[in-house]
Structure 1
Amino acid sequence: MKALTIWQPWATLIMAGVKPYEFRGWPAPRALRGTRIAIHAGARPVRKSELADLILRLRSTESWSTALKPEALAMIERWHSNPFALPLASILGTAMLGEPKRAYDIVSEFGAKLNDSDRDEHSNWAWPLTDIVPLEPIQPAKGAQGFWDWRA
């Protein structure tokens, strides 16, 4: 199975169903669309400043800019108090990778009129992730950039 490494807290937010899209600068590979992929939490430590920024944005009129569902706020507030609660370097579960969409086509789902991201080159494409299946227990894995092979 192909796996995709995603930094925390984003990987756990995907598994919780409150981050419906993974954003990348390119469309997902055609061969993987419509297939199940493993979601891997990268080894990079969680940055409290990123969590604090997400909290501020989710509490504001700019909450759409996070592309997160409102339920994400309580989770992120807990992790801000204890960022070590998030697993690192592990396969968290699997998801179905959907047909990529242009980011500006999906921002209305989160209450925005347009994509005014200053990270436009990083978030041009929204990759839908559905049919989330958590892995219990999670499996330690080193990971890699891009898609890589994981044996369950």
Structure 2
Amino acid sequence: MYPDSSGEEKQQFAATIRDNTEKLPFPFSLIKFLPHSMFCLITDKLTDFAYFEQKIECQIKTISQIIEEQLINQIDLLKIDVEKAELDVLQGINSEDWIKIKQVIVEVHNINDRVLFIYELLRERGFSKIKQEQDPVFRHLDIYNIYASR
């Protein structure tokens, strides 16, 4: 999930799993009925699995490169969920391509006030209706969704 994550972040993720077991699909939701020590052991193992590091090489393109290659005139909805690289994606959009984007939904990991920075970036790019929210599932994590439209 996040190879460079801190121990605190892993603990927050484990707490998120523990607090949301009722939302897990059956039969996984049954872990809440286990003795506390067994329950914690399983959630810790799930956390270790989520934070397992595996390096994969892949080609990366900016949104603007894709717009140019595919001759895209309009993007009705741009959804960004790139695990802490959302700012890189947004900064890879050329100024002339922003007008082609009508709506944006971006999952933001609030590192160094990134939510505020992205909010301002979207406002500067012409988005007038912008809101942020945090899913209650992520209350232990600093993860938010930003919704923006023109």
- TM bin (shorter chain): under 0.3
**Structure with greater contact order relative to length (CA < 8 Å, sep ≥ 6):** 1
Larger Rg: 2
- Larger proportion of strand: 1
TM-score (norm 2): 0.26
- Larger proportion of helix: 2
TM-score (norm 1): 0.26
